[in-house]
Amino acid sequence: MGGPNQKRQEVYRLRISVILWFIWAVLRGRTRSLAADVEATLMAARPRPQALNDQHIPAEGAFVLVGNHYERPGLKVFWGGMLASHAVAQRRTSQESLRWLMTSEWYNFRLGPLPVPVWVFRWLFRRIARVYGLVIIPRAAERAVGRAAALRTILNLLRDGEEAIGLFPEGTGSGQLIEPMPGVGSFLFSLSNRGIPMLPVGIFEEGGRLVASFGPPFSIQVQPGVDKGERERLASQQVMVAIGRLLPPQLWGAYASAIEEALAQERAGR
């Protein structure tokens, strides 16, 4: 017999029609509207996912959405991404969704006892990116040329002033916060230093419902002269604390102390 946790894990599932349309689009390389597919999927989900504090989403202008990599058995991380995308599209004057950044590879994945080669995911992720207009970021550090090209693409998108991009800084994980992938802090700081605001979103479940809670946009502040390693750490911490403040305390994970300190300083400043 299944308990309440099992029931919760069965809530958010993709509709067969969406899966079939997606497979057809990927195989043919035909573009699809991310906003339309996301809306159709979320409207069929029960209980309906909910966006909170979406008044913080800028109606116009460029920004970078940063969220926690929340998933559990039966609920994959893309559900939180879809919820955040839908909320952004609803608030934006252009009605356009986020341009998500996605990794180019997935290591150590198995279908039962059979390992899936990395090249399969490289092909699949490129096709998905073509279908939905996503930006591929090579995961392997040695693929420097590909990473540099991806970063130029991102900067060009943001320079136009009307694009919004989204990413999960941790890159992996389940529930509690962990440190972002190496280099993410410095990358986000470079964007913030160019005047691109960061928009934090905390993704979690409350009462069996998937929730995305948005916070006010912020900029990353690092004192000049700080060495590269410390700049990476400080930028990453500021981003993860901004996300963590929107989450229940049990999900604060590696940033629990930093979040508690930030909240204490805020209370003292009132």
Task: State how far the alpha carbon of 98 is from the alpha carbons of 54, 86, 92, 162, 206, in Å.
Answer: 14, 9, 10, 11, 24
Which of 17-21, 84-88, 91-95, 159-163 has the least mean pLDDT? 159-163
pTM of the model: 0.84
pLDDT recorded at residue 57: 96
- Checking if the pLDDT of 183 tops 80, the result is yes
205 closest CA partner among 119, 83, 88, 63 = 83
150 closest CA partner among 108, 99, 201, 185 = 99
Report the C-alpha gap between 12 and 42 in whole angstroms: 9
CATH code for the part of the protein at 22-269: 3.40.1130
For 91-119, give one letter per residue: b (16+ CB within 10 A) or e.
bbeeebbbbbbbbbbeeeeeeeeeeeebe
152 closest CA partner among 164, 166, 169, 135 = 135
- pLDDT tens digit sequence for 152-171: 777 777 776 668 899 999 98
- Checking if the pLDDT of 248 tops 80, the result is yes
What Rg do the C-alpha atoms of the chain give, in angstroms? 19
Per-residue confidence band for 123, with pLDDT thresholds at 50, 70 and 90: confident
Q: What average pLDDT does the segment 188-193 reach?
A: 92
Per-residue confidence band for 106, with pLDDT thresholds at 50, 70 and 90: low
State the average pLDDT for the chain.
83
Tokens of 183: 């280099």
Taking a C-beta distance cutoff of 8 angstroms, is the pair 208, 48 a contact? no
